[in-house]
């Protein structure tokens, strides 16, 4: 199987699938030309199959294909219009970005089971949020049957990605070098 490149900003990590799971090959600082050619081919096939965009001429460069402008708009919800929680962000991307995202998503599909935990139920195919409810019900029954001391703590994560420690994240990514 061909290696797969994962892009983390300036860091690109090359991986391959083996009988032991996903293994890191060697970090590289640029995508290989073969990987870009594969992405271009997938985007072109997807565009032709779904009639989303006209077929591009061979001499048009890939950078021009993705170099168009994107927009982010905040739509107000009900309630106080000055409260940031009452805004709903909508990203208006052109078709080219959506095609690239679809190509990358399809390319990373074999790695998804190794990247997402078993207890993750949101936005995972074949998983349902009811599985978390069933787990909590079974856990409660288990604790009550055995008369174990236990405390349930419920945490709500609002804006989880806004609270990421970026310094820690960058240090973790640098360890792959």
* Cα distance between residue 44 and residue 74, in whole Å: 32
CA–CA distance from 142 to each of 133, 137, 139, 146 (Å)? 14, 9, 5, 6
Cβ proximity of 54 and 45 under 8 Å: no
pLDDT of residue 47: 54
End-to-end Cα spacing for the chain: 23
CA–CA distance from 136 to each of 130, 133, 145, 160 (Å)? 10, 5, 14, 22
pLDDT of residue 2: 41
pLDDT for residue 91 is more than 80: no
Of 26, 31, 21, which is closest to residue 1 (Cα–Cα)?
21
pLDDT of residue 37: 64
- pLDDT tens-digit series, residues 10-39: 333 344 444 444 444 433 334 455 655 666
Q: Where are the domains of the chain?
A: 29-66
Banded pLDDT at 8 (limits 50, 70, 90): very low
Q: Between 94 and 8, where is the model more confident? A: 94
One DSSP character per residue, 61-122 reads: -HHHHH-S--EEEEEE-SS-TT-GGGEEEEEE--HHHHHHHHHHHHHHGGGHHHHS-TT--T
- pLDDT tens-digit series, residues 33-84: 565 566 666 656 655 554 444 333 433 444 444 444 445 667 778 888 777 7
- pLDDT tens-digit series, residues 104-162: 878 877 777 777 777 777 767 777 878 888 888 998 999 999 998 887 776 666 655 66
Q: Between 139 and 6, where is the model more confident? A: 139
């Amino acid at each position: 199987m061909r290696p797969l490149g994962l892009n983390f900003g300036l860091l690109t990590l090359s991986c391959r699938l083996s009988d032991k799971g996903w293994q890191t090959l060697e970090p590289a600082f640029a995508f290989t030309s073969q990987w870009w050619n594969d992405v271009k081919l997938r985007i072109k096939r997807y565009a032709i199959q779904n009639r989303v965009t006209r077929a591009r001429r061979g001499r048009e460069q890939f950078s021009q294909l993705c170099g168009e402008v994107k927009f982010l708009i905040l739509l107000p919800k009900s309630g106080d219009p000055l409260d940031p929680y009452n805004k709903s962000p909508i990203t208006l991307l052109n078709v080219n970005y959506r095609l690239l995202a679809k190509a990358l998503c399809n390319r990373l599909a074999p790695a998804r089971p190794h990247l997402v935990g078993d207890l993750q139920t949101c936005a995972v195919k074949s998983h349902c949020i009811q599985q978390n409810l069933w787990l909590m019900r079974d856990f409660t029954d288990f604790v009550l049957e055995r008369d174990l001391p236990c405390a349930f703590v419920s945490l709500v994560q609002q804006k989880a990605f806004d609270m990421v420690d970026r310094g820690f994240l960058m240090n973790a990514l640098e360890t792959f070098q």
